[in-house]
Chain A
């Protein structure tokens, strides 16, 4: 049975991502923001000046004493996710957790176990997977457009770190790592979604600007047999926003996933596709978004991400971006760091 009442949601952590989710929950027709939680109570006025006037609480306990949200959006620093989730799941409340899920695989899997035992809907904030063009690439692969997928190359670059940085985001203990955990994880999530569970990783990482990993190269082998290379850095000049790309080779052709288009090369015709080169542009895909909260970063993906979570809560069916999928990403992150530290391949169980 479908429940169409507005989903009553609270945002825990009123930093940049918390504010974005607060705005989306305000504008989305089937949700209602019932509260913000942050230790920094001075943010109350800042939120109010943006039109975010839901009650503000200094703690999760205060939120649940005053109200009974049906869902929480956990947007606190990564190292706090597990404790926030534990506190929230003392009630039955659906969970949306910003990426990465945790600072360690163990914590991430504990979060998944707690959410599963509580029988709540859960999702992780890997927003780029919600771009229509990424979903179109997923659908093409799932429908076997390339036949057996063999290999890939991928990159994720941004101009962010060219010297020492401050804040929790650049502390390994609090953020779970550097560029791999916090930027490349978007692409790792997509790779896991496309190719399945990870099996083996060989990687190197380097810290050349900050105290965490600023760049990394990883050779990833998935249980499906797909292998590929990921190159990532947040110290590349020329990209104020995350620039990613993915080239996938299969027995029947090649798919190149870019920011706003898919370039497809097929060795033979496939249903709906000619042999040779063709292009699918984002503008060719059906539009299903009513508000663009961030035209340059994420775009309509933020709205679609929320839509996917709300639909999941209403239908009782986990979304594709569930914590289970996010745990696969966390296994990749941890394996990359373990391989880089040991200098040896890491098998992932």
Chain B
């Protein structure tokens, strides 16, 4: 397999078996050092990229980690959960203003200029224009990181795919091309993405979708997804590889490898399980 990718998301935005596990994990990964340590474990397993939804802790940890290690950051923008929370707390203008105020003066000027050019679309609450404006502000706040790929947050992606609205994806691809970096998709619906994007799917260097031997979260079904993956395996990265922790990491990765996909995206549980297995095999006589 070419690539292993670590997935990091704010721990508050993930699901847990129990409330106790949630609190323990959230408290742990609110420490940048813990995120840093997770990155180090993933690096030791061979991961050379981090697919990240950002909060302050993750941004700080990845900035520190990139000083030590050659690890790409694949940014998933915007952080929709934080944005929706801001929307209910501050309204649309307040949510945008909060992101604007995090920018440096030159970034503010650039963002304001772009917003002026798109004023009509912003007033109409155009999905593509609004999403990209928020994305670009959040990306500007990642200036301390070396970001090599841009992805849209799945909450936006799936809605735009359902509506058959390619404009937001084209806007992402165009923004990435302007920045000289790649764009990608994170989706549970890769077949729908192919239908909506058509030949333009080639503009997305990486498509991250569930892939596991149980067909878990593979929509509409495992067979169709695998047929799609096999048509262009170098573009696809497997997520949900352990099917919610029910397949052992080694078996999960062997499965992805057999399909010839470009790589696999591993969450913190899979990385830690694989790291423990590796550590045990290293220490056994």
Contact = CB atoms under 8 A, between A and B. Distances in A.
B125 A49 contact: yes
A106 interface: no
A282 B81 CA distance: 24
A295 B189 CA distance: 10
A167 interface: yes
Interface string A8-48: 00000000000110011011000000000000001101100
A51 B126 CA distance: 11
A335 B165 CA distance: 45
Contact of A287 (B10, B164, B221, B244): B221
Given A258-B18, A293-B158, A296-B154, A50 B165 contact: yes
Nearest to B163: A51
A293 B218 CA distance: 13
A165 interface: yes
A157 interface: yes
B162 interface: yes
A259 B16 contact: yes
Given A49-B165, A287-B221, A258 B188 contact: no
B164 A51 contact: yes
Nearest to B164: A51
A292 B165 contact: no
Given A27-B162, A238-B12, A239-B12, A169 B88 contact: yes
A17 to B, nearest CB: 12
A261 B17 CA distance: 8
B56 interface: no
Interface in A266-306: 281-284, 287, 289-297, 300
A241 interface: yes
Contacts of A159: 12
A5 interface: no
A50 B154 CA distance: 14
Contact of B125 (A45, A240, A293): A45
A243 interface: yes
A49 B216 contact: no
Q: What's the dominant secondary structure at chain A's contact region?
A: loop
Contacts of B243: 281, 283
A294 to B, nearest CB: 6
Interface in B14-31: 15-19, 22-23, 26-27
A243 B16 contact: yes
Interface string B38-54: 00000000000000000
B103 to A, nearest CB: 24
A260 B219 contact: no
B246 A46 contact: no
A107 interface: no
A42 B15 contact: no
Contact of A45 (B11, B124, B158, B216): B124
Contacts of B85: 160, 240
A49 B17 contact: no
A147 interface: no
A261 B15 CA distance: 11
A26 B164 contact: yes
B109 to A, nearest CB: 27
Given A49-B165, A292-B158, A292-B217, 6 more contacts: A45-B126, A50-B163, A166-B89, A167-B88, A287-B218, A290-B221
